[in-house]
Amino acid sequence: MRLKGIGVSGGIAIGRAFVFEEFEIKEEKSSDGKNKGAEKNRLSNAVERCEKELEELGEKLADRKERGILEAQKLMLRDPALFDRAMELIDEGYTAEYAMNAAAEESARTLESVEDPYIRERASDIRDIAQRVIRALQGKRFEAKENAIAIGKELNASDVLALNAKGIATEKGSPTSHMSIIAGALGIPAVVGVKGLDRIKEGMLVAIDGDNGYVLIEPDEKEINREIEERRREREEMERLKALPAVTKSGRRVNIRANIGGLGDAKKASGADGVGLFRTEFFLLDRSDEPSEEEQFSVYKEVAELFRERPVIIRTFDIGGDKEVSYLGIKKESNPFLGVRGIRLCLKRRELFKTQLRAILRASVYGNLKIMYPMVALEDEVEEANVILEEAKNELRAEGKEFKDIPVGMMVETPAAALYAELFDVDFFSIGSNDLIQYTMAADRTNDDLSYLYRADRIMKLIAHVVEVAKEKGIEVGVCGEIAGDPGLIPQLVRMGIDELSMSPSKIANAKRIVREMD
């Protein structure tokens, strides 16, 4: 039997099911309130144990962003709204377990009532952390289940590390949930949003197909072997292809580059001809303050060093739209996708922008970096951004800090920019088809009801014009939206004259195969 979900971390895993339980917390008064002191000690000890556990788990993670998730959870343990409130409830005579659960619920509900979706999401973090404390109080902790497939409603980020299971399937969760990010970072095949998981009982044989989003229950041996053999062959073929250049039979070279969101992705993109899109705004998410120049510099430098002479296109912060950052204090807008987004925001938050530009410039001496501005609609925006870039360069010069004069390009993702591409003075274009489709079709890309309007064919005239202008100007033109990795569209884009296709690292090998099969 086969259940369908969303594959959030690729690969195949087969093993026996470990069905993780959910804890039930009964309302209990500690007997006539005499044990208040003891209950408080229990809670303090449990919180300390959790702090240690989270530290140990963090050491298993190489990537700063993912470690940050656990660090944030550790800080939350001592949040007064959680810890002090639980202590108060113990004073009222409740058990430590009940007090922790009730304090977490109060706090989570308050967060859920806030309009800002980023803050609302923190409610589930609070509940996760309370579950962890309660488990510590009850002396239960997830033992490592290296040979098992973890099955259940919802798993939190730190449990993924503690379990270290072979595969994961959960009923809840999304591709961007912390659990998915950590599973991806650890290479544990995972599928979320699976209905019908309650059919799986402890010990049953289960296979997880993280690439296609399937959970197979009690697959027969033949089915398993077939799947494994197919994957092995695919992987071998892909490894071979990844190392080859994407050249058509007639000798035209296309650069196949990677879209990355951080160091973790960069490391997975080994076969790429560089990075066509580094979505740096992920830097700003999952934290409570702005990243410093030094912090950004060290990541850009590491990515630059990883790819050496191969280009790495760093897109400046693309905040706004569906990517909100609460601590930047951005005004609420009724149409965020049409609002202060991307370069528009950076031109208003000049210090934030300049800090990023300084970090990129300083890192430029370690590799082949390029800068790219997102969400450009007018040539004036590029000019204004370049003024800030010049300021950053002047500052670095005055401070005696080294940098290179690196190319500056722009994303073409508004119809205005595509139609009037000739007016922009840049070193390269990269077509952001996700947004170009959204803005051409006037259809919110996050609205499921409008998915029928996601029509790549309706932006082809715009792409053709951008390519024509790029050829006249003698600059590179790439595509870095989802269509760049779409096997059905790659030949058409290459035939239209696109020089570069940038896509998620897992699609690179197949894209190279498609280009190599073209005449």
Q: Does residue 325 contact residue 285 with C-beta atoms inside 8 Å?
A: yes
**Which residue, chain included where needed, has tokens 């556990």?**
53
198-202's contacts with Cβ under 8 Å and 24+ in sequence apart are: 199/1, 199/3, 200/17, 200/19, 200/151, 200/169, 201/17, 201/19, 202/17, 202/18, 202/19
**Which residue, chain included where needed, has tokens 């409008």?**
450
Cα(379)–Cα(394) distance, rounded to whole angstroms? 23
Cα(378)–Cα(284) distance, rounded to whole angstroms? 25
Q: Directed axis angle between helix 96-112 and helix 36-59, to 10°?
A: 60
Q: Which of residues 145 and 341 has its CB atom nearest to ligand PEP in the complex?
A: 341
- Beta bridge partners, 190, equal 9, 168
480: annotated active-site residue: yes
- Which residues of the shown chain bind ligand PEP in the complex (CB under 6 A)? 277, 279, 318, 413, 432-435, 480-481
Cα(327)–Cα(287) distance, rounded to whole angstroms? 9
In angstroms, the Cα distances linking 367 to 36, 101, 295, 402, 404 are: 60, 50, 18, 13, 10
Q: Which of residues 248 and 434 has its CB atom nearest to ligand PEP in the complex?
A: 434
Q: How far is the CB of 432 from Mg ion (least distance, A)?
A: 4
Q: How far is the CB of 276 from ligand PEP (least distance, A)?
A: 9
Residue 318 in tokens: 């693309």
Q: How far is the CB of 282 from ligand PEP (least distance, A)?
A: 10
Q: Which of residues 42 and 279 has its CB atom nearest to ligand PEP in the complex?
A: 279
Choose from Mg ion, ligand PEP, none: what does 279 bind? Cβ within 5-8 Å by kind: ligand PEP
Q: Which of residues 104 and 277 has its CB atom nearest to ligand PEP in the complex?
A: 277
Cα(428)–Cα(313) distance, rounded to whole angstroms? 10
Beta-strand ranges (E) seen in 261-378 are: 275-279, 311-315, 368-373
Q: How far is the CB of 312 from ligand PEP (least distance, A)?
A: 15
Choose from ligand PEP, Mg ion, none: what does 433 bind? Cβ within 5-8 Å by kind: ligand PEP
Q: Which of residues 200 and 254 has its CB atom nearest to ligand PEP in the complex?
A: 254
Q: How far is the CB of 509 from ligand PEP (least distance, A)?
A: 20
In angstroms, the Cα distances linking 288 to 36, 68, 187, 280 are: 35, 11, 27, 16
- Which residues of the shown chain bind Mg ion in the complex (CB under 5 A)? 413, 432, 435
Q: Which of residues 317 and 353 has its CB atom nearest to ligand PEP in the complex?
A: 317
Choose from ligand PEP, Mg ion, none: what does 264 bind? Cβ within 5-8 Å by kind: none
Cα(78)–Cα(388) distance, rounded to whole angstroms? 41
Residue 276 identity: G
Nearest to 71 by CA among 131, 140, 158: 158
Q: Which of residues 98 and 373 has its CB atom nearest to ligand PEP in the complex?
A: 373
Q: How far is the CB of 413 from Mg ion (least distance, A)?
A: 5
Q: How far is the CB of 65 from Mg ion (least distance, A)?
A: 20
Choose from ligand PEP, Mg ion, none: what does 270 bind? Cβ within 5-8 Å by kind: none
Catalytic residues: 178, 480
